[in-house]
A and B are shown apart, each in its own frame.
Chain A
Amino acid sequence: MDPDKYLKMLEKNVRYGEIRFMKFSVTSFVMKNGILSGIEKTEEEGVAVRALGKNFSFISTSKLDDENIKKTLEKAVKFAKSGEERNVDLSDEEIIKDHWQVDERKKIMEEPFENKISILKDLDGVLLRENVPMRLQSLREKIEDIEFYNTEGTEIKGHKPNIFYYYMIGVLEDGNFEQGSQEFGRSGGYEAFDEWNLENAISDESKKLKKIAKSRKSPEGKMDLVVGPEVSGIVAHESSGHPSESDRILGREAAQAGESFIKPNMIGERIGTEVVNVIDDPTVEHSFGYYKYDFEGVKAKKRYLYKNGKINEFLLNREFAGILGTKSNAAARSSWWDKEPIVRMSTTYIEPGSYTFDELIEDVKYGIFMNSFTEWNIDDIRFNEKYIGREAYIIENGEIKEPVKRPILEITTPGFYGSIDAVSKDLKFFAGTCGKGDPMQGVDVWMGGPYIRLRNIFLR
């Protein structure tokens, strides 16, 4: 591929253009009830051209010969120059020339194939010993290589390997069913499994699900609530990260994932108590959604979405930064070589505070400790949301008591953040696949946070 030649063609014909070459090498393994039922090895590569004339065009092709790439460029130019003038002014950004990569200690390409299969077999063995009848596991390794060039002179090469593991299990106790699932993801190599300690995690989950299956339904009424990092993470992602996406705020996602309760003029408005700080940070090392530069070639940085309880910063790409008269904060991502870059999260979390977990609990007279969640959803402006507890317990007179089944929190975003009175000093991250865009783009993310305490909220 000769990027200079192609860039010259774009320079001559459009206001802005970028060429992105990407290669993905993905192997995935699926094990159902102990049988390795699916192994798929995928090698994909392709070129995507995005051009801005009167409007944006985005053309991708998997045929990488010179003739096809030229045709792709011609199409990109043709459609960028056609239609109504939208007067898009991209934000001005620094020209970058760099090469980055994520290191692997146990390299994906060097890890013996049989070891990868053994991971799933061994973990299935753990679940079998725990008498878990319904077991679904998957393991995916992905190596992503990117070359990015734009007509302003930015040239970036990146290399990112990552590992993803997922389980979903179901238990039946005295006819009562409970399900549990968890995603684990990390940029890097197979050293991820040294960190995750999955045998303990799934054994622990199995035992807890069985107890929960036999426990009583959670009580209904107003009470205090302490949520664990898994719950604070999903809340940060859904009701801080998503509504802070500038393309939602300015209506571009309206037809699909929706808009936002946050309007462009709401920077500085109160959304929660003083102790609420929510961050999105793509630069957390070895995070699942790590990147050094975004898909528009802008250097990644930490963003405070909510600060001291107030709306502080939006997630921006160059188009929406341009509209809002500011700089991009590097939130443009694509999930695959042939997908347009759109505004996305990376690692979204509630910033830790100063309390210990015990201090949060000991000051609760009566309430619920919801350590993890199962069903959840949120409306398309990210205002009304619901989280149902998976692992949950009664708190009474400052002590954690018996487990309870599926406590339900249905609350608004300001209702949630406005009820937080204390935040622990812990910080744990959980992996997820965030969906957005049309066609749907699932991107790797982390979400997380500390234990947090909410006062006097309605649960059922």
Chain B
Amino acid sequence: MIDTDLIVKKALSMGADEVSAIYVESDIKQTRFSNSMQDIYLNYLDSALEIFISKNKKTISTSIKDYKNIDEKIKSLIKLTDQLPENNDFVGLNSKKQTYRDHVPDGTLENLDDLTYMTKRAIEGAQEKGAKRVAGTIYHVVENISISTNYNTAEDKNVSLFYSVRALNENGYSGQAAFHTSDHRLLDDFDPYNLGQEAGDFASLVGIPKEGVEGKFDVLFHPLCFGSLITYSVQMASAYFVDTGMSIFSDKLEKRIGSENFTLYDDPTLESGTGYRLFDDEGTSTRKVTLVENGIVKNILHNNSTASKYGTETTGNAGIISPQPWQPVMEKGRRSVDDIISEIKKGLYIVNTWYTRFQDYRNGDFSTIPRDGIFYIENGEIVESWKGIRISDNMIKIFSNINEVSNETMQVRWWDEVMPSIVPYVLVKDVNITRSK
């Protein structure tokens, strides 16, 4: 264990003006499985000391894992600032004394780390629903984190469990389900077996998909799928990227980017999610930040320096260089998913997507490739499944065409595509669908 207070004091005594020292000790367990068998058990035991230093308006950061000669390492880092130009984007760490919420990590969840058993259950759940092959991954994370700056000191412990299951039917077509939690009580409804069943159900429903067709369709996005679009968008809400001009949030404060039905927060205070965070990298206590309210951009994500540039307060999202989202939460609506589906005349229901890429970050032109269940709906009923299509559209248009939002949300997190998020089902009008010709 490293004493971050001591690190800050040492760096200050060596001539630094401001210091942030973050020490993270983590024990991450993982299983990966495919072809209905566990492929490997992995365990990552790691610790790291991350130090940020400013001196005479010059800034530098480092990550240290070998704690021998730590004084020398800090000294040489401070010396290196002599060779740097001033960082005019940096105005200083948050100097306000912070008050932190009480946070008690879930002790029961900490002990739920028999991942081989969970893997077996996930596979069995999918198989019960007819899956021929089952693949996925399960993570169990225990992380102790402490921070000290010139002005604040805090520590926290986070325990999280997240997993995804992809079920493939006898024709090789798939369904997918993914979940994250920091609260063991949610496992009553979303344990790996149940998630396996959900993925298996989707795979069964897919059957043998037909080649999809091009056109404009009303699309009902599963929370996993819309969570992917939210993940790509919310990264661009960082003031750092807004500042480059290459973000859909650039020049959009107090302007409309979505319909009345679109309200989006970054909420690291929600303890049930694995995106929970007590403090940011400047030691600022985190809070729920309203990014978009009824379609209007209300905030972007700030650290102390970007907030100063924009004449506002930090939102508790440092990254000292680039602010970052912690846990996007989209406001739910009033209607059930079944109600929403029942009123779709001709549309699609899409479970998941991947490979989202932008040809225009500023205006939001992008495309993404639906997968793991694309269902064509006619008069409120799923009549067939599709394959081979692409959503080729504009993100602001998608948000602006949100027509319905379900009254239930799901905690979704999947691979590198969906960050820990809480998202409802979302119905979007007139989504542009294209395909290879």
Give the distance in Å from the alpha carbon of A179 to the alpha carbon of B359 in the complex: 8
**Residues of chain A lying within 8 A (CB to CB) of residue B165:** 255
Q: Does B48 contact A (CB under 8 A)?
A: yes
**Residues of chain A lying within 8 A (CB to CB) of residue B37:** 84, 86
| B39 & A36 in contact (Cβ 8 Å cutoff) | no
Q: Does A82 contact B (CB under 8 A)?
A: yes
Q: Nearest Cβ distance between residue A74 and chain B, in whole angstroms?
A: 11
Which stretch of B60-68, B259-267, B330-338 is in the interface? Answer: B60-68
| A32 & B116 in contact (Cβ 8 Å cutoff) | no
**Residues of chain A lying within 8 A (CB to CB) of residue B437:** 410-411, 458
Give the distance in Å from the alpha carbon of A259 to the alpha carbon of B137 in the complex: 15
Q: Nearest Cβ distance between residue B286 and chain A, in whole angstroms?
A: 22
A14-73 contacts to B, CB under 8 A, are: 30, 32-33, 35-46, 55-64, 68, 72
Give the distance in Å from the alpha carbon of A406 to the alpha carbon of B365 in the complex: 11
Q: Does B435 contact A (CB under 8 A)?
A: yes
A317-362 contacts to B, CB under 8 A, are: 338, 340
Most buried by B among A43, A72, A406: A43
**Residues of chain B lying within 8 A (CB to CB) of residue A179:** 246, 359-362
- Report the tally of A-B residue pairs with Cβ distances under 8 A: 226
A113 and chain B: residue at smallest CB distance: B83
Q: Does B358 contact A (CB under 8 A)?
A: yes
Q: A60-B44, A253-B34 are in contact. Are A410 and B62 (CB under 8 A)?
A: no
Which stretch of A91-99, A363-371, A380-388, A426-434 is in the interface? Answer: A380-388
Q: A375-B359, A384-B388 are in contact. Are A56 and B39 (CB under 8 A)?
A: yes
| B42 & A40 in contact (Cβ 8 Å cutoff) | no
Q: A61-B46, A435-B416, A458-B437 are in contact. Are A36 and B84 (CB under 8 A)?
A: yes
B359 and chain A: residue at smallest CB distance: A375
Which DSSP category, helix, strand, loop or mixed, fits chain B's interface? strand
Q: A62-B47, A134-B245, A256-B415 are in contact. Are A41 and B357 (CB under 8 A)?
A: no
Give B25-42 as 1s and 0s: 1 = Cβ < 8 Å from A's Cβ atoms.
000001011110111111
Give A250-261 as 1s and 0s: 1 = Cβ < 8 Å from B's Cβ atoms.
111111101100
Give the distance in Å from the alpha carbon of A56 to the alpha carbon of B356 in the complex: 33
| A75 & B43 in contact (Cβ 8 Å cutoff) | yes
Given contacts A40-B60, A386-B392, A386-B436, could you give 17 more A-B pairs where the C-beta distance is less than 8 Å? A35-B89, A36-B87, A46-B65, A55-B41, A58-B42, A59-B45, A60-B42, A121-B85, A168-B246, A170-B362, A177-B362, A179-B246, A255-B166, A255-B176, A375-B365, A377-B390, A379-B371
Give 13 CB contacts A-B under 8 Å: A30-B321, A32-B243, A55-B41, A60-B43, A60-B46, A114-B83, A168-B246, A179-B360, A254-B133, A255-B135, A255-B176, A255-B415, A379-B369
* Residue ranges of A at the interface with B (Cβ–Cβ < 8 Å): 30, 32-33, 35-46, 55-64, 68, 72, 75, 79-80, 82-84, 86, 113-114, 117, 121, 133-136, 168, 170, 172, 177-179, 250-256, 258-259, 338, 340, 374-380, 383-386, 388, 406, 408, 410-412, 415, 435, 438-440, 458
**Top 9 A-B pairs, shortest CB-CB distance:** A375-B359, A254-B135, A377-B355, A255-B135, A38-B321, A56-B40, A134-B245, A79-B41, A255-B166
